[in-house]
Amino acid sequence: MIASESQLQRRQWLSHAMTAGAFLCVLLALVPLVSVLVYIGGEGLRAINLDFFLHLPKPVGEVGGGMANAIVGSLELLALACLFGLPVGILGGVYLSEFGSSKFATAVRFTADVLSGVPSIVVGVFVFTLMVRPMHSFSALAGGVALGILMIPVVMRTTEELMRLVPGSLREAALALGVPRWRTILLVVLANARGGILTGVMLAIARVAGETAPLLFTALGNRFWSFSLKEPISSLPVQIFTYSIAPYDDWHRQAWAGALVLILMVLSLNIAGRLALRRRMEKAR
Amino acid sequence: MNRPETLPGRETAAPAGGGRIEVRGLHAWFGTHQVLHGIDLDFSPRQVTAIIGPSGCGKSTLLRTMNRLHEETPGTRLTGSITLDGEDIHAPGTDAVRLRRDVGMVFQRPNPFPNMSVRDNVLAGFKLNHEKRKDEREILERTLRSAALWDELKDMLHKPGSSLSGGQQQRLCIARALAVEPKVLLMDEPCSALDPVSTNKIEELIFELKKSLTIVIVTHNMQQAARVSDFTAFLMVGKLVEVGATRKIFTSPEQRLTEDYVTGRFG
Ligand SMILES: Nc1ncnc2c1ncn2[C@@H]1O[C@H](COP(=O)(O)OP(=O)(O)OP(=O)(O)O)[C@@H](O)[C@H]1O
Ligand SMILES: [Mg+2]
């Protein structure tokens, strides 16, 4: 049946109304996001200066100083987290996608899903019991492990999903050329899922970069530089937490600056990752 | 059932490279579903054998038993024997990976590696195995030439394999299979996703390639089978109905079923 003129008009009107509605919802979703960014940006920019990046925190009562050690500490903790979390997460994901039909794999998958829902403070307490107590010290190592554990489920499930998306025909193409299965998995399946996995890794890093609770139990915090894995280490989220609950105006200002730096760090992590990805893809052609 | 042990014209001496496949009493299963029921077939060097039959009759499965790709699907099983130049490909000491060097395959849908350049695609058999070859350049040119792609692609060897047209992609996949110098080339409906011009090119290619290879081609296109093959095997529901010289199969087959199928009365 051919639609009449009026029906057509009604459909067009409905289509426009729906488009407008969808657009409105996007705006609505953007409002809190943008206002958080703008507010932190405003407060942070007012508080931030060169000292913030170059100096250690000043003792209580003195004005000035910075969070240089916390910035470096955060980067160190994230690097450690990647060191522990990525191999386990990625290889676990490879296992799930390649041997995913076994009972054991089902159990692993379920555990990963539960783990990704576990409050991060629980992971903090876990690592506290497992590492901090036996070692008799809060440490950068324990902080890195805690963040690494938090990264595992995200990395593992993204790796699995993205490897599954690689067409079976590519796997067969490699096998049919006389490439062993393990090489096929690594060089064809994993390589083709690489871009997506990298995005997943960046998301995981971005997620743990702002974690505070697990670090309170593991890396603790440090007012000074620390370059030992066995000692407590400062980090931006913990420093922001400590400063914003303190009763000093100058510390509040610095907490805003810290928040801004943390956000910019996550953002630049994302951008850097994406750029690297694009460059590699351009090199491939 | 007509399962001649030797076929007229099949006794041609094998070239030095070999590449003779003998399938005997082959049964194959997916889980509990039996797909092949006792297949006996020979594939000789320098001959093109076409496998025809209705959809789902087990043509692809038969092809995939010959490079042991069948067993890569979980839950599959097979009995019977397949020999390549007299050696059982399923013998305990035999390596499926090694076998696949000798028995190349081209799939129904072109499947170049999208993250690799044209050049790396052709050399994938070496690159993915981290095999360094000094004569990469020669291999590249030789195989691209024999896949009739050199003139078209020599200036875009660094483009990704996925940026080519469908027909070029399929010929790239043929080049990729040829680069590792197989003795046998299995082709599973290599033209079904292609236009007539590309199909024509691939058929011409088959004529060239059969000078040095054993070629097995699955096709749904009767004209194609008639054009390119020396022998034709007709399969139905996992059984070999008839095999013989292509001309005979298409003009005076011995089985009624075969005649009905090749004349398009069913299938
Ligand atoms: N991965 C699989 N799992 C289970 N059954 C399968 C699988 N692949 C094929 N089969 C079954 O095996 C039988 C033969 O399949 P096959 O692909 O060999 O047929 P074919 O002759 O190549 O068909 P077509 O002409 O459509 O390609 C079919 O009944 C099909 O349902
Ligand atoms: Mg098929």
What are the residues whose beta carbons fall under 8 Å from the beta carbon of A150, sequence distance 6 or more? A81, A85, A120, A123, A207, A208, A211, A214
pLDDT at B6 over 60: no
- Neighboring chain A residues of B114 at a CB cutoff of 8 Å: 170, 192
- Cα(B96)–Cα(B65) distance, integer angstroms: 11
φ, ψ (nearest 5 deg) of residue B57: -85, -10
What are the residues whose beta carbons fall under 8 Å from the beta carbon of B205, sequence distance 6 or more? B146, B147, B148, B171, B174
- Check residue B3 and give its pLDDT: 44
Counting atoms of ligand 1 from 1, which one is nearest the CA of B58?
A: 18
- Mean pLDDT across B225-253: 95
| Residue with more model confidence, B195 or B215 | B215
Beta partners for B240? B235
Q: Is the CB of B56 under 6 A from ligand 1?
A: yes
Write out the two tokens for A96: 């799930």
- Check residue A65 and give its pLDDT: 87
pTM for the full model? 0.81
- Mean pLDDT across B151-159: 91
Specify the CATH number for A66-284; select among 3.20.20.140, 3.90.1150.10, 1.25.40.20, 1.10.3720.10.
Answer: 1.10.3720.10
CB B254 within 8 A of CB B264: no
A7-11, B14-18, B29-33: range with lowest mean pLDDT = B14-18
pLDDT band at B88 (very low <50, low <70, confident <90, very high): very high
Among partner residues A180, A188, A194, which is closest to B113 by beta-carbon distance? A188
Helices (H), B104-233: 118-122, 124-127, 136-146, 150-153, 166-179, 196-209, 222-228
- Mean pLDDT across B234-240: 95
CA–centroid distance, residue B239 to ligand 1 (Å): 14
Three-state SS letters, A108-153: HHHHHHHHHHCCHHHHHHHHHHHHHHHHCCCCHHHHHHHHHHHHHH
- Mean pLDDT across A131-142: 94
- Check residue B148 and give its pLDDT: 85
pLDDT at A165 over 60: yes
Write out the two tokens for B144: 């691209």
CA–centroid distance, residue B57 to ligand 2 (Å): 8
- Check residue A1 and give its pLDDT: 58
Q: Is the CB of B65 under 6 A from ligand 1?
A: no
- Check residue A99 and give its pLDDT: 85
- On whether any CB of chain A is under 8 Å from the CB of B155, the answer is no
Note whether A284 contacts B116, CB cutoff 8 Å: yes
Nearest residue (by CA) to ligand 1, atom 28, is: B56
- Mean pLDDT across B44-73: 95
- Mean pLDDT across B130-155: 91
What mean pLDDT value characterizes chain A? 90
Ligand in nearest proximity to the CA of B62 = 1
Amino acid at A236: L
- Check residue A3 and give its pLDDT: 67
- Cα(B133)–Cα(B128) distance, integer angstroms: 12
Among partner residues B74, B104, B115, which is closest to A176 by beta-carbon distance? B104
Q: Hey, is A36 helix, strand or coil?
A: helix
- Check residue A281 and give its pLDDT: 63
Q: Is the CB of B72 under 6 A from ligand 1?
A: no
Among partner residues A172, A180, A188, which is closest to B97 by beta-carbon distance? A180
Note whether B124 contacts A174, CB cutoff 8 Å: yes
Q: Could you give the angle at the alpha carbon of B155 between the alpha carbons of B152 and B158, nearest 5°?
A: 110
- Check residue A61 and give its pLDDT: 80
- On whether any CB of chain A is under 8 Å from the CB of B101, the answer is yes
CA–centroid distance, residue A213 to ligand 1 (Å): 54
- On whether any CB of chain A is under 8 Å from the CB of B114, the answer is yes
Nearest residue (by CA) to ligand 1, atom 2, is: B30
Query: What are B160-170's pLDDT values in tens digits?
Result: 988 899 999 99
Residue ranges covered by each domain of chain A: 1-30, 66-284
pLDDT band at B14 (very low <50, low <70, confident <90, very high): very low
- Check residue A283 and give its pLDDT: 56
Angstroms from A18 CA to nearest CA on chain B: 37
Write out the two tokens for B107: 């799939």
pLDDT at B2 over 80: no
Structure letter (DSSP) for residue B85: T
- Neighboring chain A residues of B180 at a CB cutoff of 8 Å: 177-178
Q: Which CATH architecture has domain B21-262?
A: 3-Layer(aba) Sandwich (3.40)
- Cα(B245)–Cα(B242) distance, integer angstroms: 10
Residue ranges covered by each domain of chain B: 21-262
Angstroms from B155 CA to nearest CA on chain A: 13
